[in-house]
Amino acid sequence: MDVSNLNQKRIKEVAESGKRLDGRKLEDYREIIIETGVSKNAEGSARVKIGDTEVFVGVKIDVTEPYTDHEDEGTLITTAELLPLSSSDYEYGPPRIDAIEVARIVDRGIRESGFIDFKKLCIKKGEKVYGIFLDIYSINDSGNLIDAAALGAVAALKTAKIPKYDEEKEKIIYGELTSKSLPLSKSFPITITLHKFGESILVDPTKEEEETSDARLSLALNKEKEIRIRAAQKGKEGSISIEELEKMIKLATKKFKELESIVKKSLKD
């Protein structure tokens, strides 16, 4: 998206005064809606809306060979497809760097938080394990696609059921789900992306704010006895000072509690 110089200047001026063009405060998220079970063909699925931004996340489970350096652990492959229908910035074809980055940030948050117990996905050491395929699709990109995708991934994984496995034929019977859930920890990861505008820090940017910000930082956090940062990814060319980093971490920790409550309520409903 090409944001005019005049609009960029206005966005930065408003941000530095502690406000935003849509009326929100710098620390405010837009309305978040999480819906699960939206696909009949996936073992787990979720649709997440943050304001006008919307993503769909699906989980497929198959039996595969383990990696040679993790012979007794299941596998996870995360992909993101940024569809042209969601933004004029996207085109059909091989995954571009922005799609790869979304997938990697979501994947890293899940892995580093220990959300999935991969050892419990082992069927036969060195031969067969369950493989999880996590697919992210953008439906509408109005900013903050990363956080929406990360929330969708957690919701889809939390509600996924392992399909029936025919031991004689050694294959999955698709369409027949067991009552068995994935081996997940109670502590789930939440990714919070923060953007820097001069000396101001904000969360949940619109598309225009994303294009205008100086620097971006995505933090994946979870809570066991206390809230901890499990993964981080910096984006854009601008620098982040130690003082700004501390401010970002403090804000992310505060917003984690808010988003955690939304996820728990959505999954309970």
Q: Predicted confidence band at 19 (pLDDT cuts at 50, 70, 90)? A: confident
Q: What is the pLDDT of residue 4?
A: 62
Determine, yes or no, domain membership for 106.
Answer: yes
Asked if residue 133 has pLDDT above 90, the reply is yes
Contact present, 98 and 82 (Cβ < 8 Å): yes
Domain extent, residue 82, equals 18-268
Q: What is the pLDDT of residue 17?
A: 81
Report helix angle 145-159 to 97-112, nearest 10: 50
Determine, yes or no, domain membership for 13.
Answer: no
Determine, yes or no, domain membership for 12.
Answer: no
CATH of residue 46's domain is 3.30.230.70
Q: Predicted confidence band at 6 (pLDDT cuts at 50, 70, 90)? A: low
Q: What integer best gives the mean pLDDT of the chain?
A: 92
Determine, yes or no, domain membership for 2.
Answer: no
Q: Which residues pair with 133 in a beta bridge?
A: 60, 77
Q: What is the pLDDT of residue 3?
A: 56
Determine, yes or no, domain membership for 59.
Answer: yes
Amino acid at 151: L
What is the token pair recorded at 247?
Answer: 């401010």
Determine, yes or no, domain membership for 203.
Answer: yes
Determine, yes or no, domain membership for 188.
Answer: yes
Around 78, how many Cα atoms within 13 Å sit in the side-chain half-sphere? Answer: 22
How many domains does the structure of the chain reveal? 1
Comparing CA positions, the residue from 64, 175, 185 lying closest to residue 122 is 64
Determine, yes or no, domain membership for 11.
Answer: no
Q: What is the pLDDT of residue 5?
A: 67
Asked if residue 253 has pLDDT above 70, the reply is yes
Q: Enter the pTM of the model.
A: 0.93
